[in-house]
A and B are shown apart, each in its own frame.
Chain A
C-alpha cells in the first residue's frame, strides 16, 4: 500500500492517517501520563475501591483542595487521571448529565449509562475537528441496583468497559500486569481485601511505601452505597496491615 500524501493535518486534528490511525487521540493518551500520576481501581464481592496518589507540590497550597476523587452523584464516584483542567471539565459534565437524567426521568442514572454517555461525548471529540479529545481518563465506581458493585473506565478514544480491576496513568502497564496476576475469573474479595489489593498494587508499581497523606482512597460498599473518601486514620490501618503482611 503506497504511503498516501497526508497533508500533515492528520497529526493536528482528528482525521485519519494513511494507516487508519487517529494521531490526536493517541497523543491525548500520552497527555494522561504527563502528570506522572497512576490510579488503580478494584472491584470486590460487595465493594469497589479506587486509589490514587496525592502530591501537594507546594507547602502554600491548601491540601484539602488537591484531590482527584470526585463525587458525581451521592452514589457514584470517580477518580480522574490526567490533565487537571480537562478532568474537572469532564467531572462537571458528568455531574450535569447525572442531574439532567434525574430531572428528566425521575430516578438516579445507572452507572453504566453515565459511563456510556461520557464515552459517547469523548467519541464526538474524536470525530469532530473543532474540539480536541480530552487528556484525561475517568474511572467510575458505584453499586448498581441490578448488577451490584461496578467499576468502569473511559478514555480519550471514547472506549469504555466494565472491569474487575484496572489502572490508568503513568504506570498503568505495570499495574495492570500486577492486577492480572491477582484477579481470577470469579473474584470474591472482601472490602478489606479489595482496599489492600488496590493500595499494594500502587505501592508495588510506584516502588514506594506510602504514608497516609500520600494517597487517597475512594470507596462504595453494598452496605453503604454512598461514595466516600477514606480518612487518613482508616488509610493508616490498611497501610499497617499491608506492611505487617510482608
Chain B
C-alpha cells in the first residue's frame, strides 16, 4: 500500500520559480489571521478562530504547546498544521532525550523548517499549506524568541508579525505600535487590537485564541482570561 511517486511534484518553472510553494503561500494568505508580538518579558500569540455556533469550542485549538517552553500558532490549512504539531512535539522530546535540557527555540524552528522543506522536494507530496509562528523562552539566555516558518522551509526571527488574511495591514499596524520596551501585558493588548483591524463582527472569547510564552513557560489562555483582556479594550 505504500507505492510512492519517485519524482517531486514541486518543480522549477522556466522562469526559475517553484510555483507549488508560491501557491502554498497563497493558501496561507487566504487563512484566518494570526499575530505575534515579542515583548521584553515574553511573547503573545493571537489568532482568529471563527466557528459556527454548532462547534464545540473546546474540541479544537489553533494555539498549541510543543514543549513546556515552546508554543505555536498557524495560518492556513488546519489538517496540515496537525501534522507539524505532532512532528514538532516528537522532535522536542528527542532533543530532551539526547541533551537532557529543554529545546532552544531556534533548534526546534530549524528542525520543523527542515521538515517543511522536505515536503517541497520529496517524491509525490505537496508543500504544507501553513505558516507557523513559533514562540519560545530560552532558559540559558533567559529571553524570548519569536520565529515564523513558511511553506518553503524558510524561517525568520521577528519582533512582531502578522500572517494570514490582511497580513500586510497587520504588519503596518504593528510597525507603528511596536517598541523595544513593550511589556507582555501591553503586547497582549496590542495583539488584540491588531486582530481587531481585520475582524468582521464582534470579538468575543469564543472567536479568538490567545497564548503567552514567558519565563514560566508557554500556555494558552482560558476563555475567561481572554474575556478579561477583551473587556480592557472596549
Contacts and interface: CB of A to CB of B under 8 A. Distances in A.
Interface of A: 1, 4-6, 9, 13-22, 43, 112, 116, 119-120, 122-123, 126-130, 151-152, 157-166, 176, 179-180, 183, 185
Residue picked from B13, B22, B30, B77, most chain A C-beta under 10 Å: B77
A19 B54 contact: no
A159 B28 CA distance: 16
Given A20-B30, A123-B82, 17 more contacts: A5-B13, A18-B19, A20-B26, A20-B129, A22-B129, A43-B56, A112-B59, A119-B82, A120-B86, A126-B79, A127-B119, A127-B126, A128-B124, A129-B5, A161-B59, A163-B59, A164-B54
B125 A176 contact: no
Interface string B8-30: 01000100000110111111111
Contact of A162 (B13, B23, B56, B129): B56
A126 B125 CA distance: 9
B27 A152 contact: no
Contacts of B60: 160-162
B52 to A, nearest CB: 6
Contact of A16 (B23, B78, B82, B124): B23
Nearest to B23: A16
B4 interface: yes
A152 B83 CA distance: 19
B115 to A, nearest CB: 12
Interface residues of B, number: 39
Contacts of A5: 13, 19
Contact of B4 (A6, A112, A130): A130
A97 to B, nearest CB: 15
A43 B54 CA distance: 10
Q: Which of A13, A22, A129 has the most CB of B within 10 A?
A: A129
Interface in B13-52: 13, 19-20, 22-30, 51-52
A197 B9 CA distance: 47
B58 interface: yes
Contacts of B129: 16, 20, 22
Interface in B45-77: 51-56, 58-60, 77
Contacts of B20: 15-16
Contact of A20 (B25, B59, B86): B25
A161 B50 CA distance: 13
A95 to B, nearest CB: 17
26 contacts: A1-B26, A16-B26, A16-B126, A16-B127, A16-B129, A17-B23, A18-B23, A20-B25, A22-B129, A120-B82, A123-B82, A127-B80, A127-B119, A128-B125, A130-B4, A152-B59, A157-B79, A158-B80, A158-B82, A159-B78, A162-B55, A162-B56, A162-B58, A162-B59, A179-B54, A180-B53
Nearest to A4: B19
Which of A6, A21, A128, A180 has its CB near the most chain B CB atoms (within 10 A)?
A128
B23 A19 contact: yes
B82 A180 contact: no
Contacts of A21: 27
A162 B19 CA distance: 35
Interface string B126-141: 1111000000000000
Contacts of A1: 26
A151 B124 CA distance: 34
Nearest to A167: B54
Contact of A4 (B22, B127, B128): B22
Nearest to B81: A123
B110 to A, nearest CB: 22
Nearest to A165: B54
